[in-house]
Amino acid sequence: MTDRKEISFKSLLSEQQYLKNLAGATITRFGDGIDTIAFAWLIYEITGSKSLLAITFGVSGLPNLIFGMFSGVITSYFPKKNTIFLCDILRGSLALTISILYFSGNVTTFHILLVTFLNSTLESFRHPPSISIMPLILKEEKIDLGLSFNASLTNASQVLGIAISPILLSVFGIGGALIIDSITFFICGIIVFSLKYKDDFVNSKKLTLKSGISDFKDGFKVLLGSKFFINLCIFAAIVNALFVPISSFSPAYVADLGLGPEGISILETPLLIAMTVFALFVPKLKSKFGGKNIFILGGFVLGAVYCFFSVIHYFNFPEIYVLLALGGFIMGGALITINIPIQIAITTKIDKEYLMRLTSILGSLTQGVTPIAAFILGGVVEFITIEQLFLIFGVITSIIFLLQIFNKNLDELN
């Protein structure tokens, strides 16, 4: 095996199929950047309710709770690129549908909730093959660099989408921005469908209820046989719940600061810039300080930024712009140091035969708490301010991550 120390990002240029997959991901993340602003503002414009923001976010997490546990098993019976292609085409069609409804003046809260649910359902079936396809198009010794470069470039693309989305919204409106988003899904699906690789892990058995349950049990046994993945699963579920406030209340939060759609852009753009930059250095940081240490540090900083966001409203303009952007940048760096060690561990430590099944099981267990937390917070936010919620969750997040210093089972992140 090639020595990892001799491998540089330049070596990825020879991985043609990886680069094609990267191009598709980069294009669709550009659309995600536009969607981040356009759809969030559409929800707030139509509902005008902080509670419904949380409920909508909760609905987006329901598919993982309902289908996520079995999506990896089901998709393991079909070619990975075919599944990704179908999901992308359907997701693009949903974005196009909601834009048509918006232009016609017929979009309602029900349409938003329905499209949110369907889009997340497709994402729950797309995620396992998109993760498990990486080891098939990239050599094992390049996985660390490949995942880091993928995170960096796709985040940079999302930054671009977020940065220009206020311009697109002012020129084309929410409906026009969503049409552009739909086009990026279509392009990504076509690119992924053109990938060429040898896939020896498509289940050759006929998909039946009995075979599906049997495969699910096999995958679950592998999960239960690893203390590392059990710990990672429990811990990730807690963290996902703790991250719900910033994910679901950002439109209302920036509105409370006296900002419009540009407020989300001011927050999200530096966040993604930081993720773009820090992603390039995570492999070196992981090698020097250990994956577990940067993981814990990232979590502690994430909690600290939560607390920081809880006091920004005490400042005036233009300080608010600067502080919001600064908080977003620090949060982006924290998130990437949490996520990449986990992605590397999942991709390299799970046997390729079980990767799709375990990815979906882990995703369902860790993200299933999100809709529950969102629905609860939708009621809580009626009694306390978003800033108070941020402070509470910030303190809890930092404490939980610091306690992982004593969790020996997470040593495998190194």
**97 found inside a domain:** yes
Count the domains in the chain.
1
Residue 186: per-residue pLDDT: 95
Domain membership of residue 395 (yes or no) is yes
Go through the chain and tell me how many residues it has. Answer: 414
**Other C-beta atoms lying within 10 Å of the C-beta of residue 26:** 20
| Domain assignment of residue 334, yes or no | yes
In a domain, 2, yes or no: no
Q: Which CATH number covers residue 34?
A: 1.20.1250.20
Contact 12, 143 (CB under 8 A): no
What pLDDT, on a 0 to 100 scale, did the predictor assign at position 201?
57
- Tens digit of pLDDT per residue, the chain (414 long)? 344 444 666 777 878 888 998 999 899 888 887 877 777 778 767 776 666 666 776 777 777 767 766 777 777 778 888 899 999 999 999 989 988 988 888 888 888 888 888 988 898 888 888 878 887 888 777 777 787 788 778 877 877 887 777 788 778 888 888 898 899 999 999 999 998 887 665 555 665 566 656 666 776 677 677 777 777 777 777 777 777 777 777 777 888 888 876 787 788 778 878 887 887 788 778 878 888 888 889 889 999 999 999 999 888 878 888 999 999 899 888 888 887 787 777 777 766 666 666 666 666 666 667 777 777 877 787 788 888 888 988 898 899 899 888 888 788 777
> Is 133 part of a structural domain of the chain?
yes
Task: Report the alpha-carbon distance of residue 212 to residue 10 in Å, rounded.
Answer: 41
1 domain-assigned:
no
**Domain enclosing residue 295, as ranges:** 11-198+207-413
Q: What global pTM score does this model have?
A: 0.65
> What local confidence, expressed as pLDDT, does residue 2 receive?
40
Query: According to the model, what pLDDT value does residue 3 have?
Result: 43
Question: Does residue 313 fall inside a structural domain?
Answer: yes
Within a domain: residue 3? no
